[in-house]
Amino acid sequence: MKMIFFVALVFLPLVASAQSSMSYGFEAGWNLANLNVSPSTQFPLSNRSTFMAAGFFEYQLNQSWSIQPELIYVQNGAKSNQVGDTTIFKYDYIEIPLLLRARSDYKIQTFDIYPSLFAGPSFGMNVNAQQEDDQTGFVTKRDLKSVTNGTNVTMDVGIGLEVPFNPGGSFVGDARYSFGLTNITTQNIQGENTTIKTKGIQFMGGLKIGI
């Protein structure tokens, strides 16, 4: 609840200042997720390829600047592959990014194209934390919710592209890097203070519709 109030305090003054157009949209895509673990684990971690989906609103402040709050379901985590044994760490979140977007416009013959840069914090709520071990086909699962913090804060930075297809709609896509700012675990590994932070390279595409 405190996080919702904080998001509202940050977001509502910006909405009030928006004098131009508003739009909403939906995107889905792919997250190449991994974890930053300190101190480093004995076994190296590899990327977990996962699904993500988002809905968003965009408030155009002027021709070049807009703010974009989002609601995202994203699957984070990592994998560890050993001989005959694969371990998958699954940390899934509902996230609310608050992005500031700067865009430009180009014409390719008769087509308008709007490339953009964006950045902003994201506030997440954990909805799943699980460790899955596959030992030569024998799968066991361990619930990690009791040793996982309920919230996570990340920073998202990326590039976007918008291609209008009629006066009220556009195809949109973006590529972003998301890196964790807070520790998601409460446990200590082998008696040492442990820090685990999420990270991911994310690609999404979808539609934007003017209001």
Q: How confident is the model at residue 63 (pLDDT cuts 50, 70, 90)?
A: confident
Above 60 in pLDDT, residue 16? no
- Domains of the chain, CATH where assigned: 2-210 (2.40.160.20)
Per residue, what are the HEC states of 39-105? CCCCCCCECEEEEEEEEEEEEECCCCEEEEEEEEEEEEEEEEEECCEEEEEEEEEEEEEEEEEEECC
Mean pLDDT of the chain: 88
Six-digit token string for 183: 């520790």
Give yes or no for a contact between 61 and 54, defined as CB atoms under 8 angstroms apart: no
pLDDT for the residue numbered 101: 97
CA–CA separation, 84 vs 37, rounded Å?
A: 23
* Residue 83, phi then psi, degrees to nearest 5: -60, 115
Confirm whether pTM is higher than 0.75.
Answer: yes
List, for residues 139-167, the tens digit of each pLDDT value.
Answer: 899 999 999 999 999 999 999 999 998 87
Above 70 in pLDDT, residue 109? no
Give yes or no for a contact between 159 and 116, defined as CB atoms under 8 angstroms apart: yes
List, for residues 46-57, the tens digit of each pLDDT value.
Answer: 999 999 999 999
Collapsing DSSP states into helix, strand and coil, what is residue 134?
strand
Half-sphere exposure of 11 (CA within 13 A, CB side): 21
